Structure 1
Amino acid sequence: MTTLEGHIERITFHNPDNHFTIARFKIPKTKKPVTVLGYLPDPKPGETLEINGKWETHAKYGDQLRIESFEVILPDTIEGIRKYLTSGFVSGLSAKKVLGIIDHFGEKTLEIIEREPHRLSEVKGIGVLTADRIATSWRRNHVVRSLMLFLREMGIKISYGARIFKEYGEDAMQIIQDNPYQVVRDIPGIGFVVADAVAQNVGVPKDDPKRIEACINHLVEQAVSEGHLFIYEDELIGKCAELFQIDREMAEDALISLSEDGSVFIEQDKRVSEVRMVYPKILYEAETGVADRLLARLSIPADLKGPDSVQITEEILRRLAIKLSPEQLKVLEGIFSHRVAIITGGPGTGKTTLIKSVATIYESLGKQILFAAPTGRATRRLSDVTRRKTSTIHKLLGYNLATGCFEKNEDHPIDADGVIIDEASMVDILLMFHLLKAIPMRAILILVGDAFQLPPVGPGNVLSDMIKSKKIKVFELKTIFRQELESPITVNAHRVRRGEMPFLTKMDIRSPLSGFYFIQQREPEKVVKTIVKLCTKTLPNFFNFDQLNDIQILTPMHRGEVGTINLNQVLQEWLNPNSGIPMVKGIPFKSGDKVMQLKNNYQKEIFNGDIGRVLSVQAGEEVLLVDYFGRSVSYGFSELNELTLAYAITVHKSQGSEYPVTIVPIMGQHFALLNRSLLYTALTRGKKLVVLIGTSRALEIALKNNQPQKRMTKLSVRLVN
């Protein structure tokens, strides 16, 4: 740990939303300032600090001190006080007023502002309101800094301080000390473990009911974050005891209390009397609601008599100028006799053609059919292939930004005779619940997806559970079309789906593009260098792919040398090296950067996973402009937590998208995440070329693991029973 004392010479960047700061820091008797970065609340040039931190070396910016903790050193000379107060640290003070205050109070100026701010009105030109404004500004800054110091002493990241202060204001310290577990409920991302550390430091007993309830909520939410809808009661109580030293009987009492207040729902397993499941109540209602509505649909015969095979063949040939395969024709003959049906199949089996054909036949019968998909990317792709208007499911349901609710429901249903949902494997239990509430019973619902892909990011595994129940009619396309059999991507994707090793072709720049390559590489550092070379030289120079628009890196995880975080920093330096303004967390967003939206923003009409390019960073206006599909979208600096660099993204984030080229590192370091479904999903994202880099051993691990983590759900059981 290094300790430096000096003053802030220049602030390179400060994010007011989370207080992340990059500054030049001048140490007495040294010629050049050093770069420091970390969390500093409202720093000002000229401010004197004692900083503790660790040196790190950035590939481009050199040595930097990452701040672990800091202490403000208040000036004790007249000149020092003048510089401090004119730096802008305290609002409402002009240079003239500062001189007047110092002339009046001398070296006691800061003491007066701190302890007797009402006396500021003794100074000519400073009224009661101005004195109050100065006092409020002073107090606010010192509350933030006191909060940061308090969190540091508790062993908590000071980055949490900004979010806590934003939520509670000047009462933050008092609220944390009175009930640390309130923070878990009120501020997303600050988990039980953080709050519990604070609680133990301020003397909250381990058997405090608030602690036990917060612990139970934490464990239930943790299960949900892993995709589960519930956690077994025995497992929950056991974790309370083993991980957090909570008496089992007290945990059971707290669970009953949470059940009574509606936070959780405890369901008895009908098959095994002593087994009980603990759901967040909202997810229990969603799962039972989905099951009830699907069963209700199944109980009502479809009132539409579909055309026969001759009529279908003639209509499709006339309108689409295509000839259907016998398999596709069989689906079209049968699908209209079901209120709800599933179309599934791997790449190259004709799902897209079938979707267009279903819509064409339905429209020829005078019916209105709507198309939707879970993400903006999937929606645009669906629109391109069907040549019809499509929307996200959220837009279809009329998401209201002001209320946070869907306007379409049982009372105000969607006006349509049929709804087709593409990429249905991405739909989680909550979204499916809202969708089924909004689709009128007279309409047919067709879910299209590849059940072998990764499950949704959100809780549940709806499409897979529906297929598993065998209650919903499933039309599985198995035949790969002849032209698709010529695609190495399609062939290898189906081999992976069957658990067979893909055909591993070495890249040869002297030969025509193959479509699928494997580059053997064991060392992570060399994998990174290989990716850089592919993006900057090999693929653009020898195969004419655009390094930014055509190529997408897909990796299983965020951390590690071949994770998204490191790859994005490295690739940004190579693919967009021009200097720019450093932004969030020390990673600069610059003009030309490839970025991705991290959450749905209905106001901007930009959705989770959308990828764009930074047009400009306007430091004066604190605005960043991003181009999405030819549309410019503005972000205030306080909104930049919605963005991340997107030269490399996770395989999960790529669902619903296709890219001309995908490069996929697959290493032993990814062991915990490697499974057949993840590998299959990564392969099927590439349209023209897929490049795997890593070890054949890692490929074997993924292929053998056909049991990705089982999600705790009961939808298939509810449909059967």
Structure 2
Amino acid sequence: MRALSELFAETGVPAPVAARAAARLGPGAAGRLRDDPWRLLRVPGVQPRQADHFARALLGPDTGPGDPRRGRALVLHLLTEAARGGHTVTPAADVVSALERVQVPDPRAAVEAALDEAEVLALTEEPGFDEESFDEDAEPPEPEETLGPARWALAEEAAAEGFQRLTLTAVSLLDDAAVKGLRDGLPEDRSLALTAALRTGVSVLRGTPGDLVGAVLGIASAAAGEGVRTAVAAPTDRSAAGLGDAAGVTVTSLHRLLEPRDDPSAVPGSVVYGRGEQHPLDLDLILVTDASMLDVELCAVLVEACPDGAHLMLCAEPDAPPPAGPGRPLDDLEASETVPVVMLDAAPPSGPLGELTEAVRGGDLVAVDAPGREVVIVPAEGPGEAVHRAVQLVTDSIPRALGIPVEDVQVVAPAAGGDAGTTALNAALKARLNPGPGKFGGMDPGDRVVVAAPLPHAALGETGVVAGGGAHGLDVEFPGGPAVVAPADASRLRHGWALTVAQARGTRRPAVVAVMPPEGLSRPLVAAAFGLAGRHLSVVQAAGPALARAVRDGGTPARRTRLARLVIQ
């Protein structure tokens, strides 16, 4: 940190970037930046013009746009930005066009330089067929060249190979008589789900959250009762605790099930797990709740940790939002049509919260009768008023009117940025709930925090409370127990009174304040946000007609991925 701070002071880079650079580039960051100043583009938030400014300050005014290090770094930067949008691959032609726009003299040479570094892979996408492809005079379509960051491209291939292996090595976990006995008396949808879990290596189960929890615990209990080694894995420790117990079944977070461990060689922002191909799980059946949250990297870790012959059931709501990270493994697996997919029959909505959420899933934003104030709509004229209303609801209205304590209220918003995003909301909530100077890297004892990038101690989206800190790091009380977050990893934490919907997914709270600005809305996101509330939902409506329009028309943006094709190869 000292070397980085000195380097940045010398070149005019703002001091706060040092902590992010240390976390992303690891030990020796200052030396590597002196050798190749465009490595600064690997630090989240740094843009090409800023990296160019840093390079000129370090190397002198003669540094030109054609420096091979610049072109190589820009290729990886463009692909990383695409990955932040969920894409695992990008057409090579799009990358070349983007390089031309930032004045790289020889874009093709820049791509070749990036490929030589092995952090970027060239991938050939075979074209699909349409009716015109079968015309007698039609020219055969040309394969499309795509590029992808090696980290995500290799993870996607590993996930596909894992799904294929589990499918090919699977045998029924119980004999026909035992399966028939367990199915007796079950409704048809639960019977199909149980059969898929016990007889096929990989399966998908879809349904509303309440229906899924009952079905998953029922399958797990039935299997464990017959001696099948079974585990249920949820996104976080907090969400696992909310699932309840099943006799003879391990109910835990997926993160904890995979046994995370400290490893200095881990890619920044990722975690090394103890379970994997060399040390697989001692389980026969794994049921993963909220599996739509799996990005390709965590999905690859999961399937590699499943031993030959194990059965994996991935469970999620229909049309759930994609994961926060790159890829969409669950949707791609379903699209491949290589595994059974069971849809649970939806039970009638229970109460105003269930009625509203189910209507949103169907594309309709309705007014519901809520005599117990289960749902309250709070209009706001703009982002400033939305933040003010949210703070008022958390600190006064909900605790006073409904008796729900502040610690059981969760604010959610579509994104971190913007005047009504989680960054602005957290600043306002901290000022009201736990004012302080940010003594420990911007945090104070009593601050609620969320894991924004996985830690060995806690999964993405896990929340905790800061207990203290010092030179050793930040002391945080997580649901799974106390942890010390090292200074180099503290940048993976954010204030957590307000979470993005992606961070909050999978963990229901007694009360939720959903702040809805006009930007970033989609039907799956709104349904996911509303579905987080257990007893009460306050909707801070700052989107005007855009909210109803998003619910009616707004799907999530498409993602460019390969998993669906890889699974069937």
Measure the CA separation in 2 of the matches of 1:177 and 1:592.
Answer: 39
Aligned pair 1:489/2:353, yes or no?
yes
Against the structure 1 CA distance between its residues 705 and 623, is the aligned structure 2 distance closer, same or farther, given a 3 Å change threshold?
Answer: same
The Cα of 1:639 is off from its aligned counterpart by 5.8
Q: 1:700 aligns with which of 536, 548, 564?
A: 548
Residues 560-583 of structure 1 deviation map (CA, whole Å, 9 limit, x = unaligned): 332222222222233345xx4533
- In the alignment, what sits opposite 1:298? 167
| Corresponding position of 1:563 | 421
Matched, 1:251 2:107: yes
Go from structure 1 to structure 2 and tell me whether the alpha carbon gap of 1:611 and 1:491 turns closer, same or farther (over 3 Å shift): same
The partner residue of 2:508 within 658, 671, 675 is 658
| Counterpart Cα distance in 2 of 1:352 and 1:514 | 25
1:354 offset after TM fit, Å? 1.3
Pair 493,624 (structure 1): closer, same or farther in 2 beyond 3 Å: same
Cα distance in structure 1, aligned partners of 2:290 and 2:26:
41
Aligned runs of 1:99-248 on 2, under 5 Å?
A: 147-152=7-12, 156-161=13-18, 172=30, 176=33, 179-184=36-41, 190=46, 192-201=48-57, 202=60, 203-242=62-101, 244-247=102-105
Q: Which moved more, 1:450-459 or 1:386-395?
A: 386-395
User: Aligned partners of 1:168 and 1:270: how far apart in 2?
Assistant: 38
1:312 corresponds to: 182
Deviations 1:522-578 (A, max 9, x none): 23333233223322332222211112x22111011223332222222222233345x
Evaluate the alpha carbon distance shift between residue 598 and residue 347 of structure 1 in structure 2; reply closer, same or farther with a 3 A threshold. closer
1:336 alignment partner, SS class: helix
Corresponding residue for 2:189?
Answer: 327
AA aligned to 1:555 is A
Q: Who is 2:446 aligned against?
A: 592
Amino acid at match of 2:540: I
Question: Structure 1 residue 255: deviation in Å?
Answer: 1.9
- Which has the higher mean CA deviation after the structures are superposed, 288-297 or 686-695? 288-297
Unpaired runs of 5+ residues, structure 1, are: 1-16, 18-40, 42-139, 315-322
Q: 1:720 to 1:625 in 2, by over 3 A?
A: closer
Name the amino acid aligned to 1:560. Answer: G
**Equivalent-residue separation in structure 2 for 1:261 and 1:582 (angstroms):** 40
Question: 2:496: which partner in 1?
Answer: 646
Larger radius of gyration: 1
The 3-state SS of whatever aligns with 1:496 is helix
Q: May I ask how many residue pairs the two structures share in their alignment?
A: 544
CA shift digits 1:622-673 (9 cap, x unpaired):
87544334844445777643433222111111012110011111122x2xx1
Give the distance between the partners of 1:169 and 1:263, measured in 2 at CA: 19
Quick check: 2:387–2:425 contact (8 Å CA) kept in 1? yes
Asked if 1 retains the 8 angstrom alpha-carbon contact of 2:233 and 2:289, the reply is: yes
Other-structure match for 1:264: 120
What's the TM-score once normalised by structure 2's chain length? 0.86
Q: Structure 2 vs 1, CA of residues 307 and 216 (structure 1 numbering), >3 Å: closer, same or farther?
A: same
Percent identity, aligned pairs only, is 22
Question: Residues 356 and 386 of structure 1 are in contact (CA less than 8 Å); yes or no, is this contact kept in structure 2?
Answer: no
Match of 1:358 among 184, 195, 219: 219
> Is 2:73–2:114's contact at 8 Å kept on the other side of the alignment?
no
Secondary structure of the 1:687 match is strand
- Show the counterpart of 2:531: 684
Q: Aligned AA for 2:515?
A: P
Deviation at 1:328, TM superposition (A): 1.5
Task: Supply the distance in 2 between the matched residues of 1:290 and 1:170 (Cα, whole angstroms).
Answer: 32
Structure 1 residues 651 and 442, CA gap change in structure 2 (3 angstroms): same
Q: What's 1:582 paired with?
A: 438
In the alignment, structure 2 segments of 5+ residues that lack a partner are 128-140, 267-271
Alignment partner of 2:412: what SS? strand
User: In the alignment, is residue 344 of structure 1 matched against residue 206 of structure 2?
Assistant: yes
Q: Closer, same or farther in 2 for the Cα pair 1:386/1:492, shift >3 Å?
A: farther
Within 1, Cα distance between the matches of 2:63 and 2:236?
A: 44
The answer to whether 1:431 aligns with 2:298 is yes
Give the TM-score taking structure 1 as reference length. Answer: 0.69
Task: Report if the CA contact (8 A) 1:151-1:158 is conserved.
Answer: no
Structure 2 distance, partners of 1:680, 1:592, is 31
Query: CA offsets, 1:138-178, max 9 Å, x none?
Result: xx8xx955x444322xxx43433567699799995x86565
- Secondary structure of the residue aligned to 1:445 is strand
Deviation of the 1:423 alpha carbon: 1.5
Change in CA separation of 1:487 and 1:303 when aligned onto 2, cut-off 3 Å = same
Q: Which residue of 2 aligns with 1:613?
A: 465
Residue of structure 2 equivalent to 1:74? none
Alignment of 1:415-454 (within 5 A): 415-454=282-321
Q: Which amino acid aligns with 1:160?
A: V
Partner Cα distance (1:170, 1:234) in 2: 35
Name 1:552's counterpart in structure 2.
Answer: 410
8 Å Cα contact 1:307-1:333 kept in structure 2: no
Q: 1:553 to 1:206 in 2, by over 3 A?
A: same
Aligned counterpart, 2:156: 287
Matched to 2:14, the amino acid is: K
The structure-2 alpha-carbon separation of the partners of 1:523 and 1:290, relative to structure 1 and needing over 3 Å to count, comes to closer
Between the aligned partners of 2:314 and 2:397, the Cα distance in structure 1 is 40
- The answer as to whether partners of 2:22 and 2:488 remain within 8 angstroms in 1 is no
1:351 deviates by 1.2
How big is each residue's C-alpha offset from its partner over 1:256-311, in whole Å with a ceiling of 9 and x where there is no partner?
Answer: 34334422221222224252111223322222232233234334563343557872
- Inter-partner Cα distance in structure 1 for 2:223 and 2:525: 35
Task: Give the letter aligned to residue 277 of structure 2.
Answer: E
CA distance, structure 1, for counterparts of residue 564 and residue 19 of structure 2 = 44
Contact 1:493 1:502 in 2 (8 A): no
Q: CA deviation at 1:194?
A: 2.8
Question: 3-state DSSP class of the match of 1:181?
Answer: helix
Task: State the Cα distance separating 1:384 from its structure 2 match.
Answer: 4.9
Is the 8 Å Cα contact of residues 151 and 161 (structure 1) preserved in structure 2? no
Deviations 1:47-83 (A, max 9, x none): xxxxxxxxxxxxxxxxxxxxxxxxxxxxxxxxxxxxx
* Distance change in 2, residues 1:472/1:281 (3 Å): same
Amino acid in the other structure paired with 2:565: V
Q: For the Cα contact (< 8 Å) 2:221–2:246, is it kept in 1? A: no
| Displacement of 1:685 | 0.7
Deviations 1:428-450 (A, max 9, x none): 11121222222122111111112
Across the aligned residues of Structure 1 and Structure 2, the Cα RMSD in angstroms comes to: 3.2
Whole-Å separation in 2 of the counterparts to 1:369 and 1:353: 16
**Contact 1:397 / 1:407 at 8 angstroms: preserved in 2?**
yes
Alpha-carbon distance between aligned partners in 2 of 1:677 and 1:292, rounded to the nearest angstrom: 29
2:255 and 2:458 in contact (8 A); partners too: no
Q: Cα distance, 1:501 vs. partner?
A: 1.5
